[in-house]
Amino acid sequence: MDEARTPFDDLPGDLMIWVLIVSELLVFGAGLAAFLAVRLTDPAGFAAAQDHLHRAGAGFNTLVLVTSGWLAALGARAVEVGHIARARWQLAAAAALGLVFLAIKGVEYADKAAQGIGVETHPFFTFYYLITGFHAAHVAAGVLVLLLVALRGRPREVEAGAAFWHMVDLVWVLVFPVIYLLR
């Protein structure tokens, strides 16, 4: 007997990856809203602190992550139609760009450390390290996930891995303007 269809059957990919995506979006969404709420208490201090950030580097990292997401999407589509070898290369390239993102983030953190800027320097930097650090941890996990699903080459796993990577991408396109650009 066929199981009854539910509205969730229309969702692309597994329901559980969407549960994960929504959970992560809620966590980062709350963090960014809290950041802007605390900014209300000291707008000038937040603007002065923001001037210590390297906007060009973060902007370049946006291009890196967006391009990485594109490669992951291409890889997911390739594995669907049986082009496993092509999918593996695209997913590996997506993971490599994830490493580029982390390397640039590492340079950014090292620069802050050299300036003597830490978590307790100003509330701006508490949020900065918390939100971007948590995001970087997701990027690191995503790189491992992409490499793992590329190695196994199974369509459902690749789709789930790519969806996780797109979530990381989605979070960054919200983090970048709020933390680095808004004055």
Partner 1 sequence: MRHPSPTRAWATLIALSAGSTALAVAVTGGGLAGAPLAAAGAAILTLAWAKARTILNAYLRLEEAPAFRRGFGLTLALYAALLLGLYLAG
As measured in angstroms, the least distance from the Cβ of 63 to partner 1 is 6
Site for partner 1 in 14-43 (CB under 8 A): 21, 29, 32-33, 36-37, 39-40, 43
Does residue 119 contact residue 44 with C-beta atoms inside 8 Å? no
114 is a site residue for partner 1 (CB under 8 A): no
Q: Return the residue matching tokens 């390397």.
A: 103
Q: Which residue, 63 or 110, is less far from partner 1 as judged by CB?
A: 63
Residues 6+ apart with CB under 8 A from 174: 28, 29, 32
Half-sphere exposure of 130 (CA within 13 A, CB side): 16
Between 59 and 106, CB nearer to partner 1:
59
CA gap 34, 127 in Å, rounded: 9
Among 23, 45, 55, 119, binds partner 1 (CB under 8 A): 55
Segment (H or E) for 103: helix 84-114
**Residue-wise over 68-93: b if at least 16 C-beta within 10 A, else e?**
bbebbbbbbbbbeeeebeebbebbbb
DSSP state of 138: H
Number of residues that bind partner 1 (CB under 8 A): 42
Answer whether 79's CB lies under 8 Å from 155's CB.
yes
Span interacting with partner 1, options 62-70, 102-110, 114-122, 131-139, rule CB under 8 A? 62-70
- Mark the segment that binds partner 1 (CB under 8 A) among 67-75, 115-123, 127-135, 142-150: 67-75
**65 vs 147, which CB is nearer to partner 1?**
65
| 148 contacts partner 1 (rule: CB under 8 A) | no
Residues that bind partner 1 (CB under 8 A): 7, 10-13, 21, 29, 32-33, 36-37, 39-40, 43, 46, 55, 59, 62-63, 66-67, 69-70, 72-74, 77, 162-163, 166-167, 169-170, 173-174, 176-178, 180-183
